[in-house]
Structure 1
Amino acid sequence: MLLVQFQSPGPIIVEIGPLALRWYGLLIASAVLIGVSLSQYLAKRRGVDPELLADLAIWLVIGAIPCARLYYVLFKWSDYSQRPQDIIAIWQGGIAIHGAIIGGTIAGLIFARLKKVSIWQLSDLVVPSLILGQAIGRWGNFFNSEAFGRPTDLPWKLYIPPANRPLEYINYEYFHPTFLYESLWNIGVFILLLWLFFWGLKHKNSLKVGTLTFVYLIAYSCGRIWIEGLRTDSLMLGFLRVAQLISLAEITFGLIGLAWLYWLKRPLLDVNRAKNIK
């Protein structure tokens, strides 16, 4: 039987005096750079100025990363209120993708309004990069030995050091590598979105602007719901897992959005003209 046991080499790549290069930061930076390049390429294929996506990327980073951290800290306030100096220590991990989506959406809406372009067009060009970035970023959880699942003896189990284990599982060594599950799921969603994008280019006026955004919300959230159920460190609202609640809301919004685009007879939007529509 194939046996693959994962064990993190640690969060730090190299230390030079008081400075440390961490895997988490490197992966986030890499995801941003790859994402911007991909979005610009997709923009060219849709006839949108790629420089618009480069400008948007700055707005998204400014909006997404602080909100991703704030979202996480608010739901973990009982911990951070005891050590407020760690609130800004984002390099230690502890950001929430749903917080990033909220912050990025607000930034994107403001940007679209100022530039007088279609928010749906921009969003369609960003979501493939977003899901790819999520797939890359999940490996930061691996190096930080965080965001893992319940104990397991499966062949692909993940070793977690005692210092990182929840108290109720302190005597267990191996856990579900939920970072891996979500990374692989996100790669699948990325492939789906790219296929839809190029299918839309080939079949003119068949894929409506906004479709990729709604498919992203549905596809990503379906995976997040079941993976979140395995995790031991979920952000909680009472006895409910926040990520599952948000994912259900995103699936509902995505389904309503697709119905609005295709079944409620919304007029087709030419992707080459969408950039000029508010």
Structure 2
Amino acid sequence: MLVAQINPVAFKLFGLEIRWYALIIVFGIIVAGWLATRESKKMGYQEDDIVDFMLWALPLSILGARLYYVIFEWSYYSQHPTEILNIRNGGLAIYGGLLTGALVTYFFTRKRYYSIWKFLDVATPGVIIAQAIGRWGNFANHEAYGGETTRTFLEKLRLPSFIIDNMKIDGLYRQPTFLYESSWNVIGFILLLILRRQNFLRQGEIFLTYVMWYSFGRFFVEGMRTDSLYLFGNIRVSQALSAVLFILAIITMIYRRKVVKPPLYNIRGVR
């Protein structure tokens, strides 16, 4: 059977290879920025607020995503230091980018005297759909896949042939874990769009719901992957962090509901 593999290189520009990975990541960022800009107007922010935030958050989050990856692959990069800044073939850890983005959000909102919880609620729907889009960059790069499976199994999932064909890596069919996580994030995105129009949510709970949803799904998908970063032994970094974030998000939501009692939302923002 002829297997059609996607070329990771989309095209060449002045001799420089432009990869699908980069194009897809950029597209996800554009979508996230557009959604955040639309949502910000409903929440009383100016469009410039989102633009100013992204000018800081994007480069620092990419740096954080790379640093996170390099730290947990230090045994390799300590021997190949010239590869540390080479991200053209992947090597960006989502959790590193998210944690850095959260840190940037803290300082940005503090400087402008904004509520960090409200600002995170504005950004969250765009972030999760950008993550869903970004996983297709892994697909184009032939990475972030799971263990060995069969073509028959993939066909039973009713996947299109171009996905099945590209899941044949190094002569073996692999679990499309990129697709599992991307699909989970799309469902989460739809859930957040529904929830943000409900009057029972309090400030910060769109973000906390996102943390619970994403970390729950990531915990199980990560367990299927073959390229995980490890803390020690068989403890995967992303699974451990997912479990911690899931629990913290639940505790934080309960505490804020019972003690802090932040403002309720309505469809136009905060009452």
When normalised by structure 2's length, the TM-score is 0.88
Return closer, same or farther for 1:17/1:50 CA change in 2, 3 Å cut-off.
closer
In the alignment, the residues of structure 1 paired with residue 84 and residue 265 of structure 2 have an alpha-carbon distance, to the nearest angstrom, of 45
Check if 1:89 corresponds to 2:86: yes
Q: 1:225 aligns with which of 219, 224, 236?
A: 219
In the alignment, the residues of structure 2 paired with residue 7 and residue 187 of structure 1 have an alpha-carbon distance, to the nearest angstrom, of 26
Check if 1:45 corresponds to 2:53: no
Q: 1:140 aligns with which of 132, 137, 151?
A: 137
**Are the equivalent residues in 1 in contact too, given 2:203–2:262 (CA < 8 A)?**
no
Return closer, same or farther for 1:238/1:261 CA change in 2, 3 Å cut-off.
same
**One-letter code aligned to 1:235:** L
- 1:110-135 alpha-carbon deviations (Å, 9 max, x no partner): 11111111111110011111101100
In the alignment, the residues of structure 2 paired with residue 265 and residue 35 of structure 1 have an alpha-carbon distance, to the nearest angstrom, of 29
Return closer, same or farther for 1:120/1:181 CA change in 2, 3 Å cut-off.
same
In the alignment, the residues of structure 2 paired with residue 220 and residue 177 of structure 1 have an alpha-carbon distance, to the nearest angstrom, of 18
Question: Deviation of residue 231 (structure 1)?
Answer: 0.4
Superposition map of 1:234-253 within 5 A: 234-239=228-233, 240-253=235-248
Which consecutive aligned stretches of 4+ in structure 1 deviate over 6 angstroms post-superposition? 270-274
Return closer, same or farther for 1:87/1:265 CA change in 2, 3 Å cut-off.
closer
Question: Deviation of residue 161 (structure 1)?
Answer: 3.5
Return closer, same or farther for 1:87/1:262 CA change in 2, 3 Å cut-off.
same
Q: Which has the higher contact order (CA 8 A, sep 6+)?
A: 1
Residue of structure 1 in register with 2:159 after alignment:
none
Residue of structure 2 in register with 1:168 after alignment:
none
Secondary structure class of the residue paired with 1:145: coil
Greater shift, 50-59 or 65-74, is seen at: 50-59
Superposition map of 1:150-161 within 5 A: 150-153=147-150, 154-156=153-155, 157=164, 159-161=167-169
Residue of structure 2 in register with 1:115 after alignment:
112
**One-letter code aligned to 1:220:** Y
Question: Deviation of residue 247 (structure 1)?
Answer: 0.3
Residue of structure 2 in register with 1:169 after alignment:
none
**One-letter code aligned to 1:189:** G
Secondary structure class of the residue paired with 2:196: helix
Question: Deviation of residue 210 (structure 1)?
Answer: 0.2
**Are the equivalent residues in 2 in contact too, given 1:8–1:142 (CA < 8 A)?**
no
Return closer, same or farther for 1:120/1:76 CA change in 2, 3 Å cut-off.
same
Residue of structure 2 in register with 1:268 after alignment:
263
Unaligned runs of 5+ in 2: 156-163
Residue of structure 1 in register with 2:252 after alignment:
257
Secondary structure class of the residue paired with 1:174: strand
Question: Deviation of residue 29 (structure 1)?
Answer: 1.0
Question: Deviation of residue 95 (structure 1)?
Answer: 0.6
In the alignment, the residues of structure 1 paired with residue 41 and residue 3 of structure 2 have an alpha-carbon distance, to the nearest angstrom, of 40
**Are the equivalent residues in 2 in contact too, given 1:39–1:125 (CA < 8 A)?**
yes
**Are the equivalent residues in 1 in contact too, given 2:125–2:189 (CA < 8 A)?**
yes
Residue of structure 2 in register with 1:165 after alignment:
none
**Are the equivalent residues in 1 in contact too, given 2:43–2:269 (CA < 8 A)?**
no
When normalised by structure 1's length, the TM-score is 0.86
**Are the equivalent residues in 2 in contact too, given 1:71–1:99 (CA < 8 A)?**
yes
Residue of structure 2 in register with 1:80 after alignment:
77
In the alignment, the residues of structure 2 paired with residue 267 and residue 186 of structure 1 have an alpha-carbon distance, to the nearest angstrom, of 27
**One-letter code aligned to 2:259:** L
Secondary structure class of the residue paired with 2:17: strand
CA RMSD, Structure 1 to Structure 2 (Å): 2.0
**One-letter code aligned to 1:193:** L
Question: Deviation of residue 50 (structure 1)?
Answer: 2.5
In the alignment, the residues of structure 1 paired with residue 167 and residue 102 of structure 2 have an alpha-carbon distance, to the nearest angstrom, of 36
Superposition map of 1:126-205 within 5 A: 126-153=123-150, 154-156=153-155, 157=164, 159-162=167-170, 173-199=172-198, 203=199
Unaligned runs of 5+ in 1: 163-171
**One-letter code aligned to 2:219:** I
Return closer, same or farther for 1:185/1:270 CA change in 2, 3 Å cut-off.
closer
Secondary structure class of the residue paired with 2:143: coil
Greater shift, 183-192 or 81-90, is seen at: 81-90
Secondary structure class of the residue paired with 1:20: strand
